[in-house]
Amino acid sequence: MSVEHVKNTTTLYELRLRLGKTKAIDELNQKQVYKEKEYWKNVMVRIISIVKFLEKHNLGFRGTNEKLYQNSNGNFLGLVEMLAEFDPIIQQHVSRITSTDTHRHYLGHNIQNELISLLASNLKSEIIKNIKQSKFFFVILDCTPDTSHKGQMSMILWYVDTSLDEFRVEESFSGFLNVNDTSGLGLFNVLQNELKSLDLEINSIRGQRYDNGSNMKGKHQGVQKRLLDINPRAFYVPCGCHSFNLALCDIANTCTKARAFLEPYNAFTQYLPILTKGGIF
């Protein structure tokens, strides 16, 4: 063992003794670091609570402005402003922001999106864990274009939640899936890939429900037929809402009484834009 090594070991040992007796010069620095760590921990707990509240109630986060105490700054910053009236932690945080003592406030849209993504990932993991415990599940798919006219498919999973004292059927939204090929094969491949990414077995499906489009319900090339070829126990049920909508359309086209009943409504909706433009409504 070299002389330098012995010297450094002795210095480290003495430093530990001084830290233990709170007599080292680093002790003040350590206290400041701990205090700052606790401060940011408390701030993040409140920010996450705001994000959870807005998500739970399906409320928008942002407005046209991202600055505190300005008009149209959205629900997220509005809740921060409200909490600042009662909560000392948020009050201190807002004070540090408005006085420019700190530029790292964690209230911007990037941290909001990151927290939403983390919470969604954690929630989806919990859902998948519950599905694996119950073993079997039911899948519901529906395709619709988004605001940019790109195809997307919503995926909903039904399963029996066995994690509670009382068994309960749960319906959980899994997410929107990007769709480039709307044929039966293309949609089925999207479904297969999503199940694989979620680590769910396609043979564990015990039911499937889609709309009445031929690419979904088709007996030869539809999604339901391709799934049944792999898993004959995945019983297909047509969507009740879509079926009811088609039944109403057929009734309106074939029944004169139904057509006469619906004609006043059709006339009203036809002239509604003109009446609105004229200032009547």
pLDDT of residue 272: 44
Q: What is d(CA 99, CA 96) in angstroms, rounded to the nearest whole number?
A: 5
CATH number of 122-238: 3.30.1330, 3.30.160, 3.30.420, 3.30.70? 3.30.420
- Residue boundaries of the structural domains of the chain: 3-107, 122-238, 247-277
Q: What is d(CA 245, CA 108) in angstroms, rounded to the nearest whole number?
A: 43
CA angle 49, 52, 56 (to 5 degrees): 140
From first to last of its 281 residues, the chain has per-residue pLDDT tens of: 677 877 778 877 777 776 666 555 666 777 788 888 899 999 999 999 999 999 989 899 998 888 888 998 999 999 999 999 999 999 999 998 888 877 788 898 999 999 999 998 898 898 899 888 888 999 988 877 666 667 788 899 999 888 777 788 888 888 888 888 888 888 889 999 999 999 999 999 988 888 777 777 778 888 888 899 999 988 888 766 666 666 777 777 777 776 677 666 555 455 445 444 444 44
169 contacts 158 by C-beta, under 8 angstroms? yes
pTM above 0.75, yes or no: no
